[in-house]
Structures are given as structure tokens and as C-alpha cells.
Structure 1
Amino acid sequence: MLELAGIIILGILAQWVAWRLKLPAILPLILIGLIVGPLSTLYTEDGSKIIEPIWNGDKGLFPGEGLYYFVSLAISIILFEGGLTLKRSEIKNIGPVITKLITLGSLTTFFGAALAAYFLFGLSWQLCFLFSALIIVTGPTVITPILRNIPLKKDVSAILKWEGILIDPIGALAAVLVYEFISVGEGQAYTVTALIEFGKILLFGFTFGFTFAHALTFLIKKNFIPHYLLNVVSLSVVLGVFVMSDVFAHESGLLAVVVMGMVMGNTDLPNIKELLYFKESLSILLISILFILLAANIDIADLELIFTWKTIALFLSIVLIIRPLGVFLSSIGSNLKFNEKLFISWVGPRGIVAAGIASLFGSKLLSKGEAGAEYITPLVFMIVLGTVLLNATTARV
């Protein structure tokens, strides 16, 4: 009970500090998570963490994979709230750029980051591509606070917002396919499995998202849901859609809730602002809890593992070479000015989806004895923390 209350209090305190300093809240949240997690083993009497997210012996908050179930459900709410804010009117002039960013830009990161990880850390190609798939995503949890504090042209702001929300399910899909490749093995068996999984994710993600978005919109417009239950009914439907879609196709739930949010956000829905305010408040609370938990779940040995110049070289190659390359390729033929392309290249912080899925897949591969799997979680967290710190302190310059 003390740990749970402490996480919520520390999380909201971090949000307030971030507001005062005009920083993305993810930065103080991760730092708090590291302090009460792996770093606390350096100063506690018995060498244990102050907060242990996964049940270990007689201490811990979540048994088994309970932490990752909680993370998945929380991410579904955050992405639905992000989808609600996406308006078609914002992308009249920049639709092609956004499309290329989430396709060509994703491929550039996927192959570029994998090459960098392979030559710097010598991991297997499978693990290198898993790492690169995980860091494809930017995210609304970190993009939104940065945009809120910086006056930008409407088109530039819209590009960053749309990319951050739409690319989350794409990165998750890529990570799932690579994970299946590692689990199933190379050859024809994997190819068939990957094609089936890819098709199922698209089919069930779009189907569930569109269907339930229109169904919930109909119920709201026809006043079948009383006003005082509107927010909680919407929340339960989002969770239900996420879980049902995931049952039919693993990781399709993320796509389903983003589609559901986009459809509802672009309909003439009464009380949409009230729903947005509720989801925004809930997202802030969930983000506060999630980042502390995921950072606390890292072990001190993981941090020591990446305490090397190779980590800095990997980070710089992603920020200074791979991200700009993807942005400039994606914006060829657009109306964006050079300095706008440069700004979009610079602002590419990673967020909760990368951190959450990295923790899940990293631990699963470790339990299977996959050589080099211990690098996945700390390397992804290094990219998350590094990009957020860099963008939060320099984006306004």
C-alpha cells in the first residue's frame, strides 16, 4: 500500500515540477523511477530496491506478467486519448509528409538503428532489429508537452503530433514481427507466421476500431448513456476493444484504439470536450505511474552494462544521422522549409510504448536464454531518456 501511494504522489509531484520547469514530465518521472529502483540498491541497507515492480520473493507489486498487463491497458487509454485529438482538417497540406514519415521514416530507423547496434555492440541481427523496431516510435506522451511549451507553425506542430500517435502501433507491430522471428526461427515457418500475424493485426485492428467507434458514437448521440456515466462507459469500451482485438491478434489492440479515437474525434460528437478532459486527466495519472514503474524495474546490472562509449555512439548515430535522414527523405517535394525539416529531425523523443514493450520482450527473451537479450531494455531506456532530455532542453533554442 505504501509503495502504491508513494508512486502516485511522486508521479504527480514530478508532473508539477515538469510544469514549473517547462519540461516533458517523462524526464523527472524516469529519474524518480531510477532513484527508487536500481539506484536505491546502492544506498539501502539490504541492497534491495525501494520500489520493486515485479513480485520477487516477499516483495513486489505485480505478480508474474501483471506489470505488463497493466502497462498494456494503460497505453491503450493513452493512445485512444491521442487519437481523439487528431483532426483531418490539420493535415490538408501535410498529409503526404505524415504518410512518408510513418512508412519511409520508419524503415529508415528500422534498418539504420539495427546496423548501428550491430556494429557497435555486436549483437545478433535478430536482437538488433528488435531494438530498432522498438525505437521507431516517438510518442504523444513526450511530444505533446514539448509542443505545448514552444510556439510553432501549425503544419510543423501537426506533423509531430500525428507522427507521434500514428507511429506507435506501427512500431509495436514491427517489434512483434521481429519477436516472432526470434521465437519461431528463420525460414518458411516464420515467413508464413509473419504474414498471417501482419494480416490479422490490420484486419482486427481496423475492424474493431471502426465498428466500436461508430457504435459508441451512436449510443452517445441517441442518449442511451446518461451524462454522468459517459466518461466511465467510454473508458470501459476502450479497454474492452483493446482486449478483444488483442485476443484475436496479438498487439492489434493498439491499432484498434488509435483508429477508434480518430474516428470518434472526427465525428460531430456531443460532449467530446468533456470526454477529452477526462481522458487527458486519466492519461496524466497513468503516465505518472507507468514511467516510474518501468524505470524502477531496471536492474543496476543493466545500467552498468551500457555504461560505455558505445552507448553514446549509438545514441548520437540515431539522433544526428538516422532521424534526420528519415525526415529529409520523407519531406522531399513538400512545402516545408529547410529549418522546419531540421526542427522535425531534432524533435524525435521516444515514449511509453517503446519503454513498455522493451521491458516485456526483453524479459521474455532473457527467460528463454537468448544471448544478448539483457541489452534490449537498458538500451531502449537510454534512447528514451536521452532523446527526452535532449529535446526538452534544446527544442526551444
Structure 2
Amino acid sequence: MTPLTYFTLVLALGIAAQWLAWKCKLPSILVLLAFGFGLGHFTGATIDDYLVGNNVLLSAVGLCVAVILFEGGLTLKFSDLRESGTPVLRLCTLGVAISFFLTYAVSRYWLGFDWRVASLLGAILVVTGPTVIAPLLRHIKPSKKVGNVVKWEGIVIDPIGAILAVLVYQVAIAGNVDAAREEIFQALGLTLLVGVVMAFILAKVIEFMLKHHLIPDYLHSVFLLAVTAAAFAASNAIQVESGLLTCTVLGIVLANQKSVSVKHILEFKENLRVLIISVLFIVLSGRVNVTELNQALLPGLG
């Protein structure tokens, strides 16, 4: 299969899956995963066949998630927290801690994983993520209060999970918490500093440029897309895994400023999010070998 044929199939199957999910009133994630498995199983082609090195795919996925988080941040209003603030705070603190320790306990003492692997797995699985939450919210259509809570949690938890994974990785390398204490505080402090400060500075610059019409209307959306990509790359270059925090905070700050409207930008980003999620799920699930999945899954189910 030629690269052109593969990428055309990915795009076509992604949009077809979204339409079929809407028509059958199913969560789009389920249909996207099924189509992705089918693409990999019946054609034998995966994204790895057309990319040079795994780092290209990881970088592309990271950038796509950053754009989705920025778009998600644009939908988060501080006014929503008047009713939903306490549940959101609990989910992003107590919820994270409970998820981490339960996953660690199951992985370590039931599955028999090494404590380093169990810790990293716990850090990874605390994340729900907007790529999963957004399609589910569109399908379920919960009440406004519940929707606000889940929306905030789904977006904010992603950078929290990334930061937690970095900290746990530092502990795993050092061998224990005491040996990694300095690295933990340094990584946490630098991540928060870079993420928040860079996001606020960029948000104010963007606000100023839009307010004084330094960017034409037809370039607003693509300009912010380019800024998001640049912010993600620059932030990660300074501190590993701080880019997701930067993009999330950037979106939230822009959403809550009063100087300029970003509704027209949000419409573009919503369409882009649907496209990105469709492509990501098709591509990533297409890399999973169904035979290997059955061999791993069926024994695990007993």
C-alpha cells in the first residue's frame, strides 16, 4: 500500500466512523477503535511503515494532544467553577491520588509488576483526557453541572498526569523517593514555572495583537494554531512534558479575558479537534496486532 493510499484511508475511515457513530447513536471512540483495528488487521499496514523512527509518531501525537488541550482550555470558564469548583478540585487531587495508588496496588501485588513499572502505570492511568471525554460528553449529553465538572477534569487532568509521570520516572531512575527528592522538586518547580509563565505571557501578547488588529481576521485561527505548536515545542525544550500544561493554561487564560472574543477561533478548533481525534484513534489502534491482543487479553479475563 502506498503512503498516499494509507493516509487517505485513515482520513476517510475516521470521518466515516464519526458519521456511523452519530447515525447509530454510539460513542465515536468505539467505532474509531473498531475501524482502526480493522485497517491494521485486513491491510497489514500501520503508520510505522511510513514513518522514519518512532520519535516522529510520538512527537506528532504529542503536538495533536497539545492542540486538543488548547482547544479544550478555550471552553473552560472560571464562572463554571462557582457550582463545580469543589468537585473538580477533588477529582484532580483526591481522585488522582486514589487512581494512582489503586493502580499501583493492583499492578504490584496482583499482577506482580516491578514497583517501577507499577508506579509508571499508575501515573499514566490517572489520565482520562479530552480525546476520550469530549466524544463521550457529546454522546451522553449530561446535565450542565455534571458536564462542566467532567469537562474541566478531562482537560486539566492531562497535564497533571504528564507531570506526575515525569516525577515518578525520576523516582524510578533514582531507586527511591529520598534519592530523587531534589530532582522531583526541581522538575515540578520548573514545569509549573515554565508552563504558567510562558502561557500568561503568550496570552497577553495574543490578546494585545488581536485587540489592536495586528492580525487579520482570516488568520486568527491559523495564527493561534501556530502559536500553540510553538509554545508546546518551546516549553518542552526548556522542561520535559511542560508543553501540555503551557497549552492548557494558554487556552484557559484566553477564554477568560474580556478584551477580545475568541468564539470564532473556538469554532475552527472544534472542527480541528474532531479531525485530530478521528485520525489519532484510527492510526494508534491500527498499530495494535489483533492476534497479540487476543493472546494478552483472553488469559487476563480468565
Query: Structure 2 CA distance, aligned partners of 1:244 and 1:68?
Result: 16
1:252 deviates by 0.4
Alignment of 1:113 onto 2:113: no
Question: What is the CA deviation profile of residues 57-77 of structure 1, one whole-angstrom value per residue up to 9, with x for unaligned ones?
Answer: xx3334341000100111110
1:309 deviates by 5.2
Distance 1:299 1:100, change over 3 A: same
Contact 2:119–2:168 (8 Å) recurs in 1: yes
Alignment of 1:17 onto 2:20: yes
2:240 to 238, 250, 253: 250
1:144 deviates by 2.5
What corresponds to 2:47 in structure 1?
53
1:31 deviates by 1.6
Alignment of 1:134 onto 2:124: yes
Of residues 150-159 and 210-219 in structure 1, the stretch that sits farther from structure 2 once superposed is 150-159
Question: What is the CA deviation profile of residues 336-376 of structure 1, one whole-angstrom value per residue up to 9, with x for unaligned ones?
Answer: xxxxxxxxxxxxxxxxxxxxxxxxxxxxxxxxxxxxxxxxx
1:184 deviates by 4.4
1:167 deviates by 0.5
1:199 to 179, 189, 212: 189
Equivalences for residues 137-148 of structure 1 within 5 A: 137-148=127-138
Query: Structure 2 CA distance, aligned partners of 1:6 and 1:153?
Result: 36
* Count of equivalent residues: 299
One-letter identity of the residue aligned with 2:30: L
SS in 2 for 1:23: coil
Query: Structure 2 CA distance, aligned partners of 1:292 and 1:100?
Result: 33
1:272 deviates by 1.3
Query: Structure 2 CA distance, aligned partners of 1:21 and 1:151?
Result: 16
The alignment yields a C-alpha RMSD, in angstroms, of 1.9
Question: What is the CA deviation profile of residues 101-133 of structure 1, one whole-angstrom value per residue up to 9, with x for unaligned ones?
Answer: 101110000001111122332111111121121
SS in 2 for 1:94: helix
One-letter identity of the residue aligned with 1:3: Y
One-letter identity of the residue aligned with 2:280: L
Question: With structure 1 as the length reference, what TM-score do the two structures score?
Answer: 0.71
What corresponds to 1:68 in structure 2?
58
Query: Structure 1 CA distance, aligned partners of 2:251 and 2:219?
Result: 18
Query: Structure 2 CA distance, aligned partners of 1:86 and 1:282?
Result: 18
One-letter identity of the residue aligned with 2:196: F
1:302 deviates by 4.4
What corresponds to 1:289 in structure 2?
279
One-letter identity of the residue aligned with 2:103: A
Question: What is the CA deviation profile of residues 194-219 of structure 1, one whole-angstrom value per residue up to 9, with x for unaligned ones?
Answer: 22111111111111111111111111
Structure 2 gaps, min length 5 = none
Query: Structure 1 CA distance, aligned partners of 2:271 and 2:113?
Result: 41
What corresponds to 2:147 in structure 1?
157
Query: Structure 2 CA distance, aligned partners of 1:135 and 1:119?
Result: 17
Contact 2:207–2:260 (8 Å) recurs in 1: no
1:150 deviates by 3.5
One-letter identity of the residue aligned with 1:21: C
Identity %: 38
One-letter identity of the residue aligned with 2:27: P
Query: Structure 1 CA distance, aligned partners of 2:237 and 2:175?
Result: 23
1:188 deviates by 4.7
Query: Structure 1 CA distance, aligned partners of 2:226 and 2:259?
Result: 18
Query: Structure 1 CA distance, aligned partners of 2:156 and 2:301?
Result: 28
Distance 1:35 1:245, change over 3 A: same
Contact 1:23–1:145 (8 Å) recurs in 2: no
1:151 deviates by 4.5
Distance 1:305 1:121, change over 3 A: farther
1:91 to 71, 74, 81: 81
Contact 1:184–1:190 (8 Å) recurs in 2: yes
1:142 deviates by 2.5
One-letter identity of the residue aligned with 1:16: W
Query: Structure 1 CA distance, aligned partners of 2:30 and 2:86?
Result: 32
Question: With structure 2 as the length reference, what TM-score do the two structures score?
Answer: 0.92
Distance 1:221 1:178, change over 3 A: same
Alignment of 1:124 onto 2:114: yes
SS in 2 for 1:190: helix
Give the structure with the higher percent helix: 2
Query: Structure 1 CA distance, aligned partners of 2:156 and 2:296?
Result: 30
1:305 deviates by 4.8
Query: Structure 2 CA distance, aligned partners of 1:158 and 1:187?
Result: 36
Higher relative CO (Cα under 8 Å, sequence separation at least 6) belongs to 2
1:300 deviates by 4.5
Question: What is the CA deviation profile of residues 25-82 of structure 1, one whole-angstrom value per residue up to 9, with x for unaligned ones?
Answer: 2221122222222x34xxx6xxxx22x222xxxx333434100010011111000000
SS in 1 for 2:83: coil
Query: Structure 2 CA distance, aligned partners of 1:166 and 1:153?
Result: 20
Structure 1 gaps, min length 5 = 313-397
